[in-house]
Amino acid sequence: MNHRQRKGLRARDRGHQEEARARAHLEAHGLRLMGRNVRYRCGELDLIMRDGDCLVFVEVRYRNRSDWGGAAASITPAKQQRLIRAAQRHLQHYPWPGPCRFDVVALDGDGVVNWIVNAIET
């Protein structure tokens, strides 16, 4: 295994750790896990949670440093569109009778969990 492959594995492991931390934070606030790492051709949904009667699509972002605006700032308009398309695809396969929303859990190197409710407007 070369350096690039090892670095990719470390990044993936860190991503899974931070996703687990985000999930624990949301569950501590009463949300229930419905799915994780749900992949479609058009994009991936990190976490799908239930908040009462609301289905919540959660994007988890981690940045070790905030030089370029931090984790929350890394969600570009193109990324938002991929999330929306993936959520639409999910709802085609698994219709949901109640409301839906998009949240972001932004984790920066300082250890603070920043949960942004209804972060992406559709």
Report if residue 122 sits inside a domain: no
Whole-Å CA distances, 2 to 5, 6, 8, 10, 117: 5, 6, 10, 13, 40
Give the tens place of pLDDT for each residue, 46-100.
999 999 999 999 999 987 756 566 677 778 899 999 999 999 999 999 999 999 9
Report if residue 51 sits inside a domain: yes
Residue 70's CB is within 10 A of a number of other CB atoms, namely 18
- What pTM did the predictor assign? 0.86
How many domains in the chain?
1
CATH of the domain at 24: 3.40.1350.10
Q: Which domain holds residue 77?
A: 3-116
SS3 31: coil
